Amino acid sequence: MSSETNFNISSLGANTFSSPINLSKTTGDKIFNFVEEHDRILADVSLESFNTCIENKTSPACLEKAGPREKLFFDSKKTTAAIVSCGGLCPGINNVIRGLVMALHYFYGVKRILGVQYGYEGLIPENGHEFIDLVPDKVKDIHEFGGTILGSSRGAQSVEKMVDSLVKNKIDLLFTIGGDGTLKGANAIGDEIEKRGLDISIIGIPKTIDNDIDLIDKSFGFETSFDVASPIIRDAHNEATGAFNGISIVKLMGRDSGFIAASTAIAMPVVNFVFVPEMDFQLEGENGFLEALKKRLNQKRHAVIVVAEGAGQHLFGEDSKTYTDASGNIIHQDIGLLLKHRIKAYFDAEDMKCTIKYIDPSYIIRSAPANANDSLFCNRLAYHAVHGAMAGKTKFVVGRLNNKFVYLPILKVVNKRKKINMEGEFWFSVLQSTGQPFTM
């Protein structure tokens, strides 16, 4: 990461209000200290990066440390906040909503908190989605359930109309919970607000079950995804071992990045083959998958295959039709079914008996409630998002980098998707766990 990278966060103006949170500025008094504006976290903690900065006499790329500030931009007693969730479901959305409401209400005394229904659609009055008043009693138990109490939707809406709605309802803070498209929309809303000279803060909490948001260590819901997938893999393994030459194919989520499939394989080490979108694998030939599968069956008489939904799209041919969802994301063709049909045809031609089971639990996984570790993570993200918002920061996301919570400009995390490094230690761990050929 270049030392010239600019991670500066936009601010609405000078902070003149004292925080109602009674924290400290003294080290050693056993009370948490306010975070200073000059507190920074290194973006790259490698020795190589350090030495490069020394040699070039440059400052390292740094990010703002997340946390409560002593001085605030907003007068908390007169502040109105709104929360919106967009895109596909993901474990932990309700946890984030609950954390935001609790932090706004109890930390800062914000009394008016609005829930925007059905994604950005809810900011367009013509759609008829009324706001919901969010108070602690309404949200205190929602972390026990999957999904989102606010509802969600995909697709772009008029930025101008959304900002008009914020102004009409005197909303000072808009917390957006969503992935790549949601965050780009949030940044566009922030640009329109800036153009109009308004004092409204726009905050992003990155949500993607695929863990493909760039720069940050992980996104919430990701750990729950492979936690929920693990017993499914166990059952798929039981199915496979219950038949002569039994084969179980499990398709997991992962449109452009294969972190769920790869992590599940390591967490549940009965998986023999993993296919992710980052791979360019072939079915036929000496080093192809089908030959490797045949060797596996001849040795062990069963096999478990995990495939990410975006893997192997090159196998469908250039003539296959391409469709997109309302957010503009490519809807991938079913690689699980293709593998099932090609495996059957291959072993039929070999006159080799096999039993194939295909399992797609994707929607069950993404609708599950967050596990304990994700719940912890969601709450901390929510708290840090509120602290940054009350300090007048805008067009930023909160995330964890190098195990530290930081604020990042929205535009820095939506430039590209995070992907598995096929030469990295993580993927090497997958290969070691599965035993699949390195050259496949």
Q: Quick check: helix, strand or coil at residue 122?
A: helix
352 is in an annotated binding site: no
Given this model, what pLDDT does residue 432 score?
Answer: 97
pLDDT of residue 239: 97
Is 229 within 8 Å of 252 (Cβ atoms)? yes
Residue 277: which of 349, 330, 202, 207 has the closest Cα?
A: 330
CA 297 to chain centre: 36
400 is in an annotated binding site: no
Cβ neighbour number for residue 313 with a 10 Å cutoff: 16
- The reply to whether 309 sits in an annotated binding site is yes
How far, rounded to the nearest angstrom, does the alpha carbon of residue 354 sit from its chain's CA centroid? 38
16 is in an annotated binding site: no
Domain boundaries, the chain: 10-217+370-413, 222-368
The catalytic residue among 29, 141, 164, 210 is: 210
Q: How many CB atoms lie within 10 A of CB 184?
A: 17
Judge contact between 306 and 261, C-beta under 8 A: yes
**Cβ neighbours for 311, distance < 8 A, ≥ 6 positions apart:** 254, 258, 261, 275, 276, 277, 279, 335
Residue 161: partners with Cβ closer than 8 Å, 6 or more residues away: 123, 124, 125
Using the structure block, give the residue that is written with the tokens 């766990």. 433
* Angle CA 328–131–117, to nearest 5: 30
H or E, element range at 64? strand 62-65
Task: Give me 21's structure tokens.
Answer: 């949170």
The answer to whether 122 is annotated as binding is no
Output the tens digit of pLDDT for each of the chain's 440 residues. 555 578 999 999 999 999 999 999 999 999 999 999 999 999 999 999 999 999 999 999 999 999 999 999 999 999 999 999 999 999 999 999 999 999 999 999 999 999 999 999 999 999 999 999 999 999 999 999 999 999 999 988 999 999 999 999 999 999 999 999 999 999 999 999 999 999 999 999 999 999 999 999 999 999 999 999 999 999 999 999 999 999 999 999 999 999 999 999 999 999 999 999 999 899 999 889 999 999 999 999 999 999 999 999 999 976 556 666 666 667 789 999 999 999 999 999 999 999 999 999 988 999 999 999 999 999 999 999 999 999 999 999 999 999 999 999 999 999 999 999 999 999 999 999 999 998 87
182 labeled part of a ligand binding site: yes
Question: What is the per-residue DSSP string for 193-257?
Answer: HHHHT---EEEEEEB-TT--BSSSS--BTHHHHHHHHHHHHHHHHHHHHTSTTEEEEEEE--SS-
* Residue 438: per-residue pLDDT: 87
Query: 348 among the known binding-site residues?
Result: no
98 annotated as a binding-site residue: no
pLDDT for position 317: 79
Please determine whether the domains at 10-217+370-413 and 222-368 fall in the same fold group of CATH: yes
pLDDT at 321: 61
Residue 339 is classified by DSSP as H
| Residue 235 known to bind ligand | no
Q: According to the annotation, is 28 in a ligand binding site?
A: no
How far is the C-alpha of 275 from the C-alpha of 277, rounded, in Å? 7
Question: Quick one: CATH architecture of 10-217+370-413?
Answer: 3-Layer(aba) Sandwich (3.40)
Q: Is 13 within any annotated ligand binding site?
A: no
3-state secondary structure of 263: helix
88 is in an annotated binding site: yes
Q: Is 87 annotated as a binding residue?
A: no
Q: Is 210 a residue of the active site?
A: yes
Distance CA(87)–CA(327), nearest Å, equals 8
**Which CATH architecture fits 222-368?**
3-Layer(aba) Sandwich (3.40)
**Neighbouring residues of 245: CB distance < 8 A, sequence distance ≥ 6:** 297, 301, 302, 347, 352, 353, 354, 355
- Determine the straight-line distance between the first and last CA of the chain, rounded to whole angstroms: 31
Alpha carbons 307 and 317: distance in angstroms, whole number:
18
Q: What are phi and psi of 15, to 5 degrees?
A: -95, 120
